[in-house]
Amino acid sequence: MRVLLTGGAGFIGGHIAEALARRGHEVVVFDALLESAHGRGARAGREGLVVADVRDRGAVADALRGVDAVCHQAAMVGLGKDFADAPEYVGCNDLGTAVLLAEMAGAGVGGLVLAGSMVVYGEGRYDCPRHGQVRPGPRAVADLAAGRFEPRCPDCGAELTPGLVAESAPTDPRNVYAATKLAQEHLAASWARATGGRAVALRYHNVYGPGMPRDTPYAGVASFFRSSLARDEAPQVFEDGGQRRDFVHVRDVAAANAVALEAVLERAAGSFAAYNTGSGDPHTIGEMAAALAAAHGGPAPEITGGYRLGDVRHVTADSRRLREELGWRPEVGFAEGMKEFAGAAALRAVPAGG
Ligand SMILES: NC(=O)c1ccc[n+]([C@@H]2O[C@H](COP(=O)([O-])OP(=O)(O)OC[C@H]3O[C@@H](n4cnc5c(N)ncnc54)[C@H](O)[C@@H]3O)[C@@H](O)[C@H]2O)c1
Ligand SMILES: [Zn+2]
């Protein structure tokens, strides 16, 4: 099939382009080469790439010609520098998605696979020994500052046990980026209903692997640690390192996109479905830092006790649905993947200014 791949010059998009080409699909790579992701002057030397913004209606309409389905990865990612970034996040992620969907409706392109995120869940799933499943609110600054990182039961204050989040869990975005990722899903569902299209959102957990951008305010935690190690500095681990996450390898995420695209046009008209996309093998941030440091040959991580307000304590996915319904199987294990990632040339340089 012919696929329009937005954000195709990015970390995950690059791996999707490769996976699709390997499976015999034709790929139109579309990317604005945002400065926040690629640094300044990234235009040079990129062939076979449509350099344009998804908010540009004309460019999107041109790129959609002859396309069977769209794989929409373009977005501003990460927590950003501060709240002043909000208009740019909303512009790229939500206005961009709305323009793309409007042009798809015009061109009669009826299949969409969207890069979703586990950030839509906010604080993950917890069980209280007395109250069963509960939803703790945002953590109080006073608790964080005092090193009380574990969320408590909102009813009785008891310690909670974190569990796996299923797609049916209520959404609860806790920062601007998360709000824009959830809005993308709502837009996709509205588009499907209004046009009889078919949309699938893959809610990625923490994606890591070769080609991950270096530490910018927009990057993920694995790349911060990897960058520190490359400078021979200890990875700085926030809180007490006990935050649980699901680290999923970028090649597995690319494969999930490929299987979702290949099946999307067979789905029910007007449908939208979200799938957690995780390895199914949760680890703590501290374990991840330690695995990277060991594979790199030190220095050992430092637990700083610091915190970021937008961060959640634990969130780990139940990705059974993606395995069962789409036949996807993650193939890269934690130890193997971290070892590869710790090796040289794992990170994409983002030149100064980015
Ligand atoms: N990396 C993760 O752990 C992770 C987790 C959950 C979800 N996601 C989602 O996966 C997708 C890809 O993320 P990534 O980690 O590869 O980030 P990335 O920054 O490497 O790639 C995103 C790409 O999109 C492009 N882009 C951004 N806004 C654009 C616009 N308005 N028009 C055209 N191109 C634009 C950027 O130039 C960049 O090349 C995003 O939608 C992100 O929200 C990533
Ligand atoms: Zn309780």
Interval 191-206: pLDDT, tens: 999 999 999 999 999 9
- The SS3 of residue 329 is coil
Substitution candidate for ligand 1 out of 11, 250, 316, 341 with most atoms within 8 A of CB:
11
In whole angstroms, how far apart are CA 126 and each of 135, 161, 321?
7, 5, 20
Nearest ligand 1 atom, CA 54: 32
> Among all ligands shown, which has an atom nearest to the Cα of 181?
1
- DSSP label at residue 312: -
Distance 150 CA to ligand 2 centre (A): 14
Compute the CA torsion angle 105, 106, 111, 112 (nearest 10 deg): -70
Q: What is the mean pLDDT of residues 160-179?
A: 92
3-class state of residue 131 by DSSP:
coil
pLDDT band at 187 (very low <50, low <70, confident <90, very high): very high
What pLDDT, on the 0 to 100 scale, is given for residue 350?
61
Task: Provide the edge-to-edge strand list for the sheet that holds 316-317.
Answer: 132-134, 125-128, 161-165, 316-317
Q: Which residues pair with 12 in a beta bridge?
A: none
Backbone angles phi, psi at 43, to 5 degrees: -65, -35
pLDDT of 348 reads: 65
- Catalytic residue numbers read 177
Task: Work out the mean pLDDT of the chain and round it to a whole number.
Answer: 92
Banded model confidence at residue 138, pLDDT cuts 50, 70, 90: confident
Closest CA to 159 of 179, 137, 129: 129
Provide the token pair at 304: 């700083």
Average pLDDT over residues 303-332: 93
Examine the pLDDT at 8 and tell me if it is beyond 70: yes
Report the nearest-CA residue for atom 32 of ligand 1.
53
* SS3 (DSSP) at 159: strand
d(CA 312, CA 124): 8
Spatial contact of 224 and 78, defined as CB atoms under 8 Å apart: no
Distance from the CA of 169 to the center of ligand 2, in angstroms?
Answer: 19
pLDDT in tens, 86-105: 999 999 999 999 999 999 99
Do 124 and 314 contact (CB within 8 A), yes or no?
A: yes
- Residue 352: pLDDT band with limits 50, 70, 90: very low
The SS3 assignment for 36 reads helix
Paired strand residues for 111: 198
Helix (H) or strand (E) holding 224: helix 221-230
Categorize the per-residue pLDDT at 307 as very low, low, confident or very high, splitting at 50, 70 and 90.
very high
Strands (E) in 153-293, as ranges, are 161-165, 198-204, 206-208, 212-213, 236-237, 244-245, 247-249, 271-277, 283-284
Length of the chain: 354
Rg (CA), the chain: 20
Give me the residues near ligand 2 (ion), CB cutoff below 5 Å: 128, 130-131, 153, 155-156, 158
Of 124, 244, 119, 115, nearest to 174 (Cα)?
Answer: 119
Mean pLDDT in residue range 213-228: 78
Lowest mean pLDDT among 1-5, 35-39, 249-253, 269-273: 35-39
Closest CA to 121 of 161, 72, 178, 159: 178
At residue 205's C-alpha, the angle toward residues 192 and 292, to 5°, is: 155
The stretch 313-340 carries a mean pLDDT of 95
pTM above 0.75, yes or no: yes
Percent of the chain with pLDDT over 70: 94
Distance CA 40, CA 38 (A): 7
Compute the distance from residue 311 Cα to the ligand 2 centre, in Å. 22
The ligand whose atoms approach the alpha carbon of 132 most closely is 2
The residue to mutate among 16, 53, 73, 249, having the most atoms of ligand 1 within 8 angstroms of its beta carbon, is 73
Highest mean pLDDT among 134-143, 181-190, 296-305: 181-190
Q: In the predicted model, what is the mean pLDDT of residues 18-29?
A: 97
Q: Where are the beta strands (DSSP E) in 173-221?
A: 198-204, 206-208, 212-213
| Confidence at 345, pLDDT banded by 50, 70, 90 | low
Residue 4 Cβ < 6 Å to ligand 1: no
pLDDT value of position 61: 98
What pLDDT is stored for residue 217 in this prediction? 57
Q: Is the shortest distance between the CB of 53 and ligand 1 below 6 Å?
A: yes
Judge residue 67's burial from the number of C-beta atoms within 10 Å of its C-beta, 0-12 exposed, 13-18 middle, 19 or more buried: buried
